[in-house]
Amino acid sequence: MQEFYNKVFMGGMSLLLVSLLLGYASVSRTYLYLPLVPAGQSGMLWRAVTRTDANKGGASEIKIHDEQFSLSYDFRVVKQAQYPYAEIALEFVDASGAPTLIDLTAYDSISFNIRCSLTNTMVFSAWTVEEGLSVSDDLGSYRAPGAFFSCTEVWSRINLDLSRLETPQWWFDLHQLDLSRQQYQLNKVPRIAIGSSFQTPTDKKVSVLINDVTLCGRDWRYLYFFAVFLVLAWGHLQRGCLNNIHAA
């Protein structure tokens, strides 16, 4: 009988060790963290690009100072175009440097540190393909759901929920679509951007510094697998013990 208890003890300890290792691996793979900035630590290839109202007759401007260790840039919104704006974007590219589409459905939030020389309200946007409407060489045809946030002279950590972005009304007006058509997909994203809003100070230079841009998500499949493993493995061990006890 002592030999049986020794086998049970060794089997239990071995299974416990395997469970702990598998549990650690499952939790690690469940919580997803994908850094984007600094560029050297990015899990995706991208390049920094700018966009202003210049093609709409505006005079807003933006200048990048650093796009490797952080996103450092100056911009000035000028009240000349009907909708003045200036933005910086991370445009996703492939190994050859050509623009590409990225699937971000595994990520439910994005976070970053930001500081501005003048307090203002800015907007984060995730540009995405709208099936049946978007054209590759017409950025305005892409849907750009976004979220507003405050940027001040003090460093702040911004966390935005990617599942609760709102598409701007001008996009619906431009394409004559029903405002109730709010659903969007993040499976084909050409770029993510941070830009000015209608509450950004005009005719004033604003210096912006952004770092530690990270996408966060969860893949519950690994925890489900781990739960099934625990039930089957420990259940099998328990049944084996009971059968041996009854046989004795």
Residue 120 has a pLDDT of: 93
Residues 6+ apart with CB under 8 A from 164: 147
pLDDT on residue 170? 84
Same domain, 128 and 227: no
Confidence (pLDDT) at 134 = 87
pTM beyond cutoff 0.85: no
Indicate whether 116 and 158 sit together in one domain.
yes
Sheet holding 86-92, edge to edge: 46-52, 86-92, 191-196, 120-127, 146-151
Residue 149, pLDDT score: 98
Q: 57 vs 22, 45, 104, 205, CA distance in Å? A: 59, 32, 34, 19
What is the reported pLDDT for 77? 97
CA dihedral 184, 186, 192, 197 (to 10 degrees): 20
Which of 107, 162, 113, 167 has its CA nearest to residue 143? 167
**pLDDT at res. 248:** 55
pLDDT at 152: 96
* Co-location of 62 and 124 in the same domain: yes
Q: Do 144 and 155 share a domain, yes or no? A: yes
Sign, CA dihedral 34-38-40-46, equals positive
The SS3 of residue 169 is: helix
Query: Which CATH number do you get for residue 153?
Result: 2.60.120.430
* Residue numbers of the domain that contains 128: 33-218
Domain count, the chain: 2
**Residue 43, CB half-sphere, CA atoms under 13 Å: how many?**
12
Residues 168 and 100 in one domain: yes
Same domain, 197 and 81: yes
Model pLDDT, residue 11: 56
Statement to judge: residues 140 and 237 lie in one domain: no
**212 in the same domain as 111:** yes
Same domain, 21 and 40: no
End-to-end CA distance of the chain: 8
- Asked if 98 and 18 sit in the same domain, the reply is no
Q: How far apart are CA 215 and CA 89, in angstroms?
A: 15
Q: Are residues 44 and 105 in the same domain?
A: yes
The mean pLDDT values, 10 residues at a time, for the chain of 248 residues are 52 60 58 88 94 93 96 96 94 95 94 96 96 84 95 97 93 88 94 96 96 84 59 59 55
